[in-house]
Chains A and B, each alone.
Chain A
Amino acid sequence: MRAPFLVPALLRFPGSSARQDSWGRLLKITAGGAQLSTAAPLAKGETVQVLFELGGEKLRIPARVTHASRDDDGQPLADLAWSDMVERRRLARVLLEVLAKS
């Protein structure tokens, strides 16, 4: 299923990385991870906290960058794997609810 919009996400980095908050669009969301298009270049292995809203629920899920590349427009693209099992289960429930309603 494809949502009629791209889910915007706020990106927060660990204090140790001394990086400013950034933002991006989630191109794909699954219970295990996501694909993110962002203006901030991300590196493989980097951790980032992703804050977004889905199905009326606010989610804040720590993730690890499993693959980093650039899209055809030269914009950074990252594959993320959710690293918090509790939040991951919550996201799975939200996804099921959203998909059941569609």
Chain B
Amino acid sequence: MSSHEHAPVGGRLLTPVTFFCVVLFILALAVLGVRFVHGLGSVTHLNDGYPWGIWVVADVVIGSALACGGFAVAALVYIFNKGEYHPLIRPALLASLLGYTLAGVGVLFDLGRYWNFYHIFMPGYASPNSVMFEVAVCISLYIAVLWIEFWPAVLEKFGLADAKKKLVGTMYIFIGLGMVLPMMHQSSLGSLLIVFGHQIHPLWQSMLLPLIYLMTAVLIGYAIVLFESCVAAAGYRRSIETHLLNPLAKVMLGVLAAYLVIRVGDIVARGALATAFQFNLQALFFWLEMVCFALPFYFVGSEAMRRNPANLFLGGLYLLLGGILLRINSFLIGYMPGDNWSYFPSTGELVVTVGLFALKIAAYIIITRRFPVLPREQHAVAA
């Protein structure tokens, strides 16, 4: 975490992009106002068959998975001792921080009795055998850990070198927690679905769901680093860290290959493959998901293709889409509560979800412009 690695990007905070994002967020706030005054039913299309909608699936399940960059890169740097990826840690950590914090806040919107939220922190209310309890506790703890992990950047910004030194001295504890906690709850998000039993379509219902969810969380972590580096490079007109992203893409492909072997092997072993060839929504979305998982091999599979940053970007993007689709498919498309139940998010739900993602983008831009997060540029960049 040496200070020479990172630097603020600088520039104006109010740009058309940040302005547009803030407007979207204000729209979301308006919808949330209605939700908190008149209740969930007034805004959402949730019903007794579908008590979880996109606020849970997109804001929490997908939001926290997209925030796995910090965890995935930290695993490379600290567990596999690949120090060369260190410059990527802070931006990934910032994305994780924003993603997890807003996932935690997003849970509040979906809680019917949100005023009881603090019960999760009270031992008297704890139900240690519950998967949901584990997810909730791990996510809350991990949010705290992420803030601590990111804190050196803030101290650096305000020139508090002594404080930063002390904090960095204890950082190994938080790095350890920062590895364990996401592994616990990202896998548990899959375990949640096991509890649903036959209500989940056989293409997704599996005892391997915890592993599937954990591996895709790691994959999404690498993909988001590719994606975010490319977008930051394009958006800030910076040079792209191809020398870091290329080997990272190779690591990513290795994990992806392992994942696909496990995923397809599991479907075949459970005898669920036939359901993929039926003509229905589930099968269609299953193939969409699989195609998204396969496309990165085309885009970043060869050294030649990887040389073009656009392919790195597209490879990361399709892997992201694959991970997102897996979560949407297993939580909503492949979720079958019984005859006649249906769910499609309402306008209000979509506005809130879009607003939350917009807030993340705005916050990412504002923080990277003012705090030392992104890798320091080697050369002056043409404005």
A interacts with B: no
Hey, which bits of chain A sit against chain B, CB under 8 A?
none
